[in-house]
Amino acid sequence: GDKTLGCMFEITLTRTASMSKLSDKLLEWCKMVERRIWAPQFGHHTLRHFVYPPTIAQTGDKTLEQRDGGTLKEMIVRKLERGGQKYQYWSLIDFDKPNLTSIVGDRASAGAVHAYLRRIPWLDIEKKVQPITSTIMRISVTLKPSFDWSSRWSGMTEPFIIWVEDPDSNDILHQESFQLLRANRFD
């Protein structure tokens, strides 16, 4: 299952010959199996993940559900799935609430879709490439979280894998994994 896919993914990261596209697909499959959420090409919307609650932990007198919001209604996600590609994450992320209201039918549901779209982990990446020699370059990367953190959905950390690839040969030139900590997300 997920361990086999994870091993295959790790192997593609250690090979340099034309593996970036395969690495990308294997990472996608690893996430789908681990989180039991299927990708849009299988007919499921990215927001479907928010229909099913994670384990609810007790914190003081409030549960995480009461503190960080409930779940997204399945009927809303089904409307988005029926819309096909035109209502996928990338096309909806820049919509404002009135535009979302015209899609889902009411303001409260549009507000929920708007909020959950912003909970999907995403990083803005700023890069600076500096040639050192004809075969060596220095790449400086600044990563900025561009999502609304929810302890209920992300926990205390959110894992990311960043890699540099040669677009001509699909070779992975460098890769790193890191955990974004909730406490350090603005540093």
Task: Identify the band that residue 126 occupies on the pLDDT scale cut at 50, 70 and 90.
Answer: very high
pTM over 0.85: no
Model confidence over 102-120: pLDDT tens digits?
Answer: 998 889 999 999 999 998 8
DSSP summary character for residue 33: H
- Express as a percent the part of the chain with pLDDT over 70: 76
Of the candidate ranges 94-98, 145-149, 171-175, 181-185, the one whose mean pLDDT is the lowest: 171-175
- Residue 33 pLDDT: 65
Model confidence over 38-85: pLDDT tens digits?
Answer: 555 555 677 877 887 665 444 444 444 444 456 888 889 888 888 877
Task: Identify the band that residue 1 occupies on the pLDDT scale cut at 50, 70 and 90.
Answer: low
Closest Cα to residue 113, out of 122, 125, 101, 124? 101
Helix, strand or coil for residue 160?
Answer: strand
* Tokens 């899609």 -> residue: 103
Closest Cα to residue 64, out of 186, 156, 184, 181? 156
